[in-house]
């Protein structure tokens, strides 16, 4: 199972393995506060993509396309996440609020699910 959460959301036993998928370590956030979450910044958007998004140079569909393109070269990392989530729960963490649909962790979740479906 794959879950997504904000780093500010309450930590729960049901989170399983918590994986931080941000380019930068969250300011003011200790490793203890994140409950020793694994940090996998290789599946985070590039600095350039983040800047284009934050500076409103691109719209969400373009962000999604470019993020997917960037992740095409990181299929082994994504496949590793797919394997981890096959029999266990993983929770993808980012600093954006969970209710915000404009976060790469939601796209990453879909990419992981696509790899799982290919294996079925």
Closest alpha carbon to 108 in 97, 119, 116: 116
What pLDDT digit, counting tens, does each position of 26-62 carry? Answer: 887 777 777 678 899 999 999 999 999 999 999 999 9
What pLDDT digit, counting tens, does each position of 73-87 carry? Answer: 999 999 999 999 999
CA-to-CA separations, 96 to 2, 33, 73, 75, 116, in angstroms, rounded? 17, 16, 24, 24, 25
pTM above 0.95, yes or no: no
Domain limits, the chain: 2-119
């Amino acid at each position: 199972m794959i879950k997504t959460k904000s780093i500010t959301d309450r930590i729960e036993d049901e989170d399983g393995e918590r994986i931080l998928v941000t380019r930068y370590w969250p300011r003011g956030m200790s490793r203890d506060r994140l409950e020793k979450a694994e940090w996998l910044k290789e599946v985070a958007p590039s600095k350039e993509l983040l800047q284009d998004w934050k500076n409103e140079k691109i719209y969400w569909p373009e962000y999604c396309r470019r993020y997917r393109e960037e992740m095409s070269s990181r299929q082994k990392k994504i496949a590793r996440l797919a394997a981890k989530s096959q029999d266990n729960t993983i929770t993808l963490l980012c600093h954006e609020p969970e209710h915000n649909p404009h976060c790469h962790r939601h796209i990453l979740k879909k990419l992981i699910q696509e790899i799982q479906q290919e294996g079925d």
